[in-house]
Each structure stands twice: as C-alpha cells, then as structure tokens.
Amino acid sequence: MVQKSQGAPQQHKSAHPLRAHILMIEARYYEDISDLLIEGVVAECAQRGMTFEHIIVPGALEIPQVLAAAAAAREAGRMTFDGAVALGCVIRGETAHYDVVCDNANHWLMETAVRKEVPVGNAILTVDTHAQAVARAEGGIKGKGGDAVRACARLIEAKRAFWGASA
C-alpha cells in the first residue's frame, strides 16, 4: 500500500494476505543455499496466500534473461504474473569472475524490472564465503528468501496503488 506521510516510511512486519502470483526464478548453482532460500519463499508465500511458479536456471547470470523472456510473454498475453523473486548465490573466488557475475546479474535484473515494470524481490546473495551465504539464507521465513517475497509484495502493492488492483 502506498501511503503519504509527514515522517519516515514505516515497515510493516506482519504479513497480510495478498492475492498475487509471482515467478520464483532460482539459480541452483549452490543447491544447499538454494534450498534454504526456497524454504523462506514458500513459507512467506503460504503465509500471505500468494501463489508462484518455480523456474530453475543454472546460475545467477541466467536469472535476468528468464525475467526478460517472462516479461515479454506477459506483454504478449501468453503468461500472467504480478511480480518475481530472484534466488541465487555468488561466492567470491580467486578471479574477477565474481565481480562480472554480481555486477551483470544485478544490473540486468534491475534494468529488466524497471523497463518492464515487474516488481522484483532480489535474493541473489553476493558473499565472500559459503558460511556467509548460509547465514543469510537460513531462517526460513526470516531469511533472505522470505525478505525477497516481502519486498516483491510491497512493490506489487505500490504498483496496484498507482494503477489499480488489476495492475
């Protein structure tokens, strides 16, 4: 919900029902991390009554490409969804490949989201170690997978406030 206020915006921690269908685009490069992120997505969607489609890609670089294809299919009337959640993990290695993957996956994800007006919750973890990834991903509904659904839900609500419930 979009609200105008005199003070700083407030975050609402309690989930409320939201009739929405989202795409869960998951890079399963680190399967154990992906499983933890998915746990949070599924729990938060269930708590809100949201539905989702699960799309699996090999790695984080493929996530924006799938989002762009889905957005094009939506524009053509071949697919229906209200938003998307991006799930993945990139762990720093010994080469510059980490920077290339992080920069491009996040840049093109946000560029596609903005250009195609798709509310996106981003849970592509960018970390130095596997232990850092686990710490961010675990926790079910309180982990980064749940955070991404909450971000996506808030963006869907904002879009609907601007354009009406059918947006």
d(CA 90, CA 76): 32
Q: Which residue has the tokens 């920077």?
A: 99
Of the residues 16, 97, 107, 130, only one is catalytic, namely 97
Residue 107 annotated among the catalytic residues of the structure = no
| Distance (Å) of CA 112 to CA 8, 11, 43, 127 | 28, 26, 26, 23
Q: What's the token pair of residue 59? A: 């790695």
Active site residues: 97
